[in-house]
Structure 1
Amino acid sequence: MRDKEIKDQLKNSEHFRDLEFSNISKKAVTKKAYVQNLIHDIFIALYTLFFSFVYFVTIHSGIVARYIPELIRIVLFIVVIIFFFILSKKLALWVRQLPKCSIIQFVSSFLIVMYFIYQGFTPYFYSDDFLIQHGVEKIELKYTFDDVDLTQEEREEIANELFVSEMAYANLLMYEIRDPQPADLTLIDFKVIDIERVFNRYHLHVEITDELNGAIQKQTMTFTFSKGMGVFKLEGYS
């Protein structure tokens, strides 16, 4: 009984309450530090991914893919990722010196996540009318690209506007390695049958009527568009 009274007295003592409060404070500080470190690490990972993605779609899949051998491209891409990781760490350390650094890192990380959601599901952010109108303009431009009377400079300009970078390079290369036979190809009419969204691409199913060397032909084709350099461009057709 005496021991119980002593324990009760200790629990009610000011020293014990201070000690208990100190333990709670330490747990709160530890939990806060854990959350801050987690936000910090996510910030670094997302910015590394963001920088690498921008590099890949703007430089690596364009200029680098055209003029540098594949093995060197792979090594270069690894080096670039390491560089962006170091850059992201330095950026995160700089942000940590600012007031409300965790909030800044959290908000910027959230914006990057939203950016990747947009990149992964781009066609879903646009109406059918917008996508159809844009696709029709590219289809008409495709017939202009096939005009054999174009100069190489004119064809390159159209290719960069019409195709994603890989397909632009492939189509231009096709015209360089062969001398196309003159053909009188004229687009007469087309009718959009259906539009289909698939992640970051959309397919436009079109019934096309054109005239090839005086012969009228009608065919159903599917044109695939994806986002390239900020706008939808032709990725393929069948």
Structure 2
Amino acid sequence: MITGTTPAGHRVSPIFLGIVAVTSVSGWAVWAGFAEQPGFAVFLFVTAAWIASLCLHEYAHARTALHSGDITVGAKGYLTLNPFAYTHALLSIVLPVLFVIMGGIGLPGGAVFIERGRIRGRWRHSLISAAGPLTNVLFAVVCTAPFWLDALDGVPPAFRNALAFLALLQVTAAILNFLPVPGLDGYGVIEPWLSHSARRAVEPFAPFGLIAVFALLWVPELNRAFFDAVYAILRGLGVHGFWTDCGLDAYRFWQGANPVCEVAG
């Protein structure tokens, strides 16, 4: 019987709605200049928006898997956008936020477990893996819309800088997720096209892929090359590196305000 109600496993979680509410309220506080030093509001705004994007990233994986044949994702809570449904809270929320604080890098967080045996066709498997980082690409396009549309008139500098920094996180997340490294989505895109022996050989390294990428980013030369590419993409979208850097400075409000950013506005 059709009741017209949404199954419990498909309803949007109140936790996600709370995250959206924090994003909205803190974004308004940054825009309105609620405080003389907007750093804490910027921190809340960027962190909440970043967690929301993590939820949407994993939701995209799950929704694509659902339409590809894995009907178990609803019962697992993956369609509720609840960040706690994606593996472990430490992986889903704490570590990604710590990565942002430590290095201004949008590394991937939680994960959804897809029952791949239910899915037929290599293209479907690849699309499921690609759906997450493509969500980060879409998020980056939305965040940078005021910049590439040249619609910054009237946008307060603090909000502009916060949005620029949030865009940087989305761009870094998209690039890193698309790397063909075991354990990341980029490898999931190409894995269905590899031979069985190649997949078996790579499988033991999957748990360490993310750790290896994070470690490599601490190598100065690789870090510089990576961020050169990130800033080049942002410039192509109309986002100046100065705005992004000031957004990061405001996000790390505990370090004190950057006088250069305050003067430049």
Q: TM-score, normalised by structure 1?
A: 0.26
TM-score by length of 2: 0.24
1 or 2, which has the higher strand percentage? 1
Q: Which has the higher helix share?
A: 2
